[in-house]
Amino acid sequence: MSDFEEEALSLLLFNGKDGIMENNVVLTMRGISMTFPGVKALDNVDFTLRKGEIHALMGENGAGKSTLIKCLTGINAFEAGEIHVDGINGPVVNHSTLDAQKKGISTVYQEVNLCGNLSVAENLFIGREPRTKIGTIDWKAMVKRSQKIMADLDMPVDVNQNLEEYSLALQQMIAIARAVDMDCKVLILDEPTSSLDDNEVEKLFKLMRQLRDKGVGIIFVTHFLEQVYAVCDRITVLRNGTLVGEYPIADLPRVKLVAAMMGKDFDDLAAIKTDETTDFSHAEVLIEAKGLSHKGTIKPFDLTIHKGEVVGLTGLLGSGRSELARVIYGADRNQTGTLKVNGKEVNIKAPIDAMNLGMGLLPDDRKAEGIIGDLSVRENIILALQAKRGMFKLIPMREQIALADKYIEMLQVKTASRETLIKQLSGGNQQKVILGRWLATDPDFLILDEPTRGIDVGTKTEIQKLVLKLAKEGKSLIFISSEIEEMLRTCSKMGVLRDGAKVGEITENLTQETVMNAIAGGGSNE
């Protein structure tokens, strides 16, 4: 942006030397800069939010989105720049999330940070309960006000029920309702749709539109391009800690958005595609499951995986995709059936048995089951290999460093150093580290459960290319993804699951239509 453009923008957004903003602007951030050890996280970033606007904040993992939000909400202390909020004269500096809330800035995260064992009403008023004249909680008033909040937002819930009794989507909406009732001017939604199905997403969008119409400014952080174009009015793109630009939604077609995020032209992933002509029917069988099951999670199923084959598992949320993979790996021990690895029947009692058989599992919940936040990138990478070798055969430090450096470079992990705590990395880079962990064990068979969930387009592309590369090297993979197009690009066949059962297998004519029909009808062309 030229000096002239910056000056013009300032004149548009501000009125007078006291920093009083124009009527339609609720938030401005100007020249925000922040440095982590060895990394320039934000470099002179500007952001503008208007009243009654849903504004997408986009960028690859490590672009600076989370850091900018944390600067705004008081989690990070930025080193340069100014923040202005409507109704407050002069620049503001928040020292905590509570401080930000008092100024009308509220955040709802991907993981709902409310109390499931308390009622909806109690959650709505945590820390600000209405009181009687003698100082006790006025339960009647709290319930009545809660009912009004829910009714105003067209949310038919019983406010006396515990929060945990409602779906994740409703819990997120209740978290939003709480934020709005706290005289919220700026609502930040940080990856709120990652764990929601299509119907739940649409309900959330309906609520977002309602709030927009009431004049609330909404910052929507997401990796789902379709959702951006479905609900947003404007997009701000960051790349490598710098501002790429701000665009009205109509002025930025999808392909141009991806190009802006990645810093290069991008052909909508068309270049990534598995070789459909490969015939695996005569290839050596690596994994053969017959009648495997686990009570309460997955019904008896058969599955054959050949060397060099990428098998997708598709189905609606809760269909049993992850559960099937967990039984093969031994994370959930099978109660019926047999499993053969390289033609030999095996009895996997625990994941370590699977690892010793050349298997690896990248779990879908990287925070709970993947990373160990207080360990370094190096320590996280060598973790699985160390487990295979045993606690009495410690990996020499020289070998640890070599392995860490190898996979940091191979997977292009953005980290200040190999000794950086993994919790300081962005979600996509954490995912790369976990991938590196399993690649370090040199597995013959790798299960990737939602490896691209919650990460940017560029990293998704890298992971998909890596899957095809591993397959060409003769490794076999199970690839689980909620994005059908992603699996169509990487898989040679797909198992179809519904209600905890494998109901079919698609080996030919892999298209979105055939997959959707199979999911809906349980069809098979086996």
3-class secondary-structure state, position 4 = helix
* Secondary structure percentages of the chain, helix, strand, coil, to 5: 35, 25, 40
**Residues 325 and 446 grouped into a single domain:** yes
User: Across the strands, what pairs with 84?
Assistant: 28
Of 253, 187, 238, 189, which Cα lies nearest the Cα of 47? 238
**Residues 231 and 145 grouped into a single domain:** no
**Residues 187 and 158 grouped into a single domain:** no
Residue 284 lies in a domain: no
**Residues 202 and 153 grouped into a single domain:** no
**Residues 53 and 148 grouped into a single domain:** no
Residue 36 lies in a domain: yes
Residues in the chain: 526
b/e burial code for range 310-322 (CB count within 10 A of at least 16 → b) = bbbbbbeeebbbb
- What's the rounded Cα separation, in Å, for the pair 39 and 37? 6
Which one of 140, 170, 200 terminates a domain? 170
pTM over cut 0.85: no
**Residues 324 and 431 grouped into a single domain:** yes
**Residues 324 and 255 grouped into a single domain:** no
**Residues 26 and 161 grouped into a single domain:** no
Handedness of CA 68, 72, 73, 77 (dihedral sign): positive
Amino acid at 230: A
- Give helix 198-213 / helix 168-181 axis angle, nearest 10°: 10
Q: In what order do the strands lie in the sheet with 359-362?
A: 359-362, 445-449, 476-480, 310-314, 493-498, 501-506
Q: What is the pLDDT along the chain (526 residues), one digit of tens a residue?
A: 544 444 444 444 444 334 445 669 999 999 999 988 767 889 999 999 999 999 999 987 778 898 999 999 999 889 999 999 998 888 999 888 888 888 989 888 766 677 878 888 888 888 788 898 888 988 999 999 888 888 877 777 888 888 888 877 778 778 888 877 777 899 999 888 876 677 778 888 888 898 899 899 999 998 777 889 999 999 999 988 999 999 999 998 877 887 787 665 544 445 555 555 567 777 899 999 999 999 888 999 999 999 999 999 988 767 888 899 999 999 888 989 999 999 999 999 888 999 999 999 988 776 667 788 889 999 999 998 998 888 888 999 999 999 999 999 888 888 999 999 999 888 778 888 988 999 999 999 999 988 887 677 777 888 888 899 999 999 999 999 877 778 888 899 999 888 788 988 988 888 877 887 787 764 444 4
Tokens 């993992």 map to which residue?
61
Q: Which residues constitute the domain of residue 146?
A: 114-170
The alpha helices in 182-291, defined as continuous H runs, are 198-213, 225-231, 254-262
The first and second tokens of residue 483, run together, are 């994005």
- What's the rounded Cα separation, in Å, for the pair 176 and 188? 9
Residue 247 lies in a domain: yes
Q: How many CB atoms lie within 10 A of CB 213?
A: 9
Residue 499 lies in a domain: yes
Number of domains into which the chain is organized: 3
Please answer whether residues 471 and 493 qualify as being in contact, where contact means their C-beta atoms are separated by less than 8 angstroms: no
Tokens 């020499």 map to which residue?
396
Of 329, 343, 344, 318, which Cα lies nearest the Cα of 292? 329
Residue 342 lies in a domain: no
**Residues 382 and 234 grouped into a single domain:** no
**Residues 52 and 75 grouped into a single domain:** yes
